[in-house]
Chains A and B, each alone.
Chain A
């Protein structure tokens, strides 16, 4: 066998490498088109800040999708927790930033745990269960809001943490990605998630408690959605019951671009990071190539669809080549 892999094989063989290359090419093109004004520290900072919520939740979605599941309740969880901590500040004058984040995390954990419990023990399709909670948490966010918003002045102190120029959101992102990178690759806990998604029956036979793993991943997803709720209030200095409505699809799309398979068992933290980053850079770069921001969604949609279709086509070519090699 050929020990040295050709460069082409490395590029096409690994989603991470090919995505990184595309990202670099895109950055160079945009950098040239913008006459060197794109890659400034402020711009880069904003790319991350504007997409912090998606990037954070993409990690949880990665775990969920690795088990061949999906969670579309996340932005409702986000709105529900965001609304609670927003109202706590507005009505109760509770302003301890750390405590608010902790509370948001706990609410998120509770929401996610419910998802996991019903999906694993009640054998409900993940999409149905999380769709139910999508309605419930969003509805409760409205109930909590009681037709009021928490806006700038109400959450002024809390918004210090996430305001433009504060390092808060970046720290959360960095910690989350480092922790997940380590956990998913180097702990048995992370590998069990892969195992369950790759072949749940085999996992059961080899003594892995599949139900528990499912509960764990949805709980993690909930935790991150809760944190994203707090982060959202902090970054945008407001809490509204309709916040991030429909954005769960962005999170799923980021994972898919990053190479996470909807059939489970395939996906990585690095890929997810690059997928989310790709999505973010695309949004920021469009105005620079002369396209209004209203083009954003259309381009995003085309990219998502193109990525999944190209994936299928490459897989087919590879399978075909393997069949032709088979001697007869």
Chain B
């Protein structure tokens, strides 16, 4: 039934080829390919199999990146995930030293992450007045503090039985196990965010929390779920980190929170919420991983990459704003 004026509204979805080609993701793909070409030019050992073999060292962070993507989409932030990785890793080492079976160790690792994330969520939903930045700043110090206290004055703890974790860090054919799991995680997280109603609810919460509430969306439940999820994925991250480092110390996971946030922003997710998707973040994550491997093979001080990540982060965050102001200027000129 049309309205009184008989006006009809078009409802056929259109995606122009131009907008596809000029999308953020295609830009990222170009950068990704550029990194691969750069790697193979500067380093002879930057081959397909070598890259895959070295990958597990850098992959673990990506597990957290997906969940952090959710957190940023709902316009929150969690800076405690690095500390959760440390705590989960530490507790798993203790479980390992106590001779617990591998499955129990895995449960401990992921379970600690789950509990930490849950705690963040409970505080965030019951103290809505507080910015989550400050909540997770507090819990970050606490989580790492608990790890430090349990490690004792030595400041580190290692696995006594590395068999199980060597398997987790192992390969299936040419691919590391972690790589497979990352792909599975990517598919699941991308599916949830882009295809399900839950994904749309997250965008709603991040775009306008008040309007989402008025539209009947359980805002606090979604926040709780996202914080629990990012904590749990930090536990998964710790698991794969242990599979390459076989131990934890007081600096384990330090700076991870910034790394994953940076990957998300580079992938086109805005920290102000409601924007971006995990396809971009996935490409961005792998771009940074490959860049790290290439620079590592060059024997450049591993930290040089920090400069590159920093520049990528700022530039990628600046581009949407610049785009917008260019558009506005065009509009203004057109109006005249």
Contacts and interface: CB of A to CB of B under 8 A. Distances in A.
Interface of A: 70, 72, 118, 122-125, 127-129, 131-143, 146-147, 241, 245-246, 249, 252-253, 256, 262-263, 292, 294-302, 304-305, 308-309, 312, 315
A139 B307 CA distance: 5
Contact of B141 (A72, A139, A241, A301): A301
Contacts of B265: 128
Given A118-B314, A139-B303, A139-B305, A131 B146 contact: no
Contacts of B155: 294
A132 B313 contact: yes
Contacts of B144: 297, 301
Q: Which of A142, A241, A301, A302 has the most CB of B within 10 A?
A: A301
B304 A139 contact: yes
B176 interface: no
B199 interface: no
Contacts of A297: 141-142, 144-145, 148
A262 B131 CA distance: 8
B137 A304 contact: yes
Contact of A132 (B77, B153, B317): B317
Interface string B287-301: 000000000000001
Contacts of B134: 256, 262, 308
Contact of A246 (B255, B301, B304): B255
B141 A131 contact: no
Given A128-B271, A135-B307, A301 B313 contact: no
Contact of A143 (B77, B129, B304, B311): B304
Per DSSP, chain B at the interface is helix
10 contacts: A122-B321, A136-B307, A139-B303, A249-B141, A292-B153, A295-B149, A297-B144, A298-B148, A305-B138, A308-B135
Contacts of B77: 127
A199 to B, nearest CB: 18
Contact of B307 (A143, A309, A312): A143
B65 to A, nearest CB: 15
Interface residues of B, number: 49
Q: Which of A128, A140, A263, A295 has the most CB of B within 10 A?
A: A128
Contacts of A300: 141, 145
Q: Which of A143, A147, A298 has the most CB of B within 10 A?
A: A298
Contacts of B271: 125, 127-128
B284 to A, nearest CB: 14
A138 B303 contact: yes
Given A140-B307, A297-B148, 16 more contacts: A123-B321, A124-B314, A132-B317, A135-B310, A142-B304, A142-B306, A245-B254, A253-B141, A262-B134, A294-B153, A297-B141, A298-B145, A298-B149, A301-B140, A301-B144, A308-B138
B335 interface: no
Contact of A122 (B143, B311, B318): B318
Given A128-B271, A134-B310, A309 B127 contact: yes
B41 to A, nearest CB: 22
Contacts of B137: 249, 252-253, 256, 304
B166 interface: no
A136 B130 contact: no
Interface of B: 77, 123, 127, 129-131, 133-135, 137-146, 148-149, 151-153, 155, 254-255, 258, 261-262, 265, 271-272, 301, 303-311, 313-314, 317-318, 321-322
Contacts of A127: 77, 133, 271
B99 to A, nearest CB: 25
B209 to A, nearest CB: 15
Nearest to A305: B138
B306 A138 contact: yes
Contact of B142 (A262, A305, A308): A305
Given A135-B262, A297-B145, A246 B314 contact: no
B304 A133 contact: no
Contacts of A132: 262, 310-311, 313-314, 317
B318 A118 contact: yes
A137 to B, nearest CB: 8
Contact of B129 (A70, A249, A302, A315): A315
Contact of A128 (B123, B142, B313): B313
B139 A305 contact: yes
A135 B309 contact: yes
A135 B306 CA distance: 5
Contacts of A141: 303
Nearest to B303: A142
A193 to B, nearest CB: 20
B129 A312 contact: yes
B314 A129 contact: yes
A143 B139 contact: no
A140 B313 CA distance: 16
Contacts of A131: 258, 261-262, 310, 313
A217 B258 CA distance: 23
B140 A249 contact: yes
Contacts of B146: 298
Contacts of B139: 301, 305
A301 B304 CA distance: 32
A125 B130 CA distance: 18
A304 B272 CA distance: 25
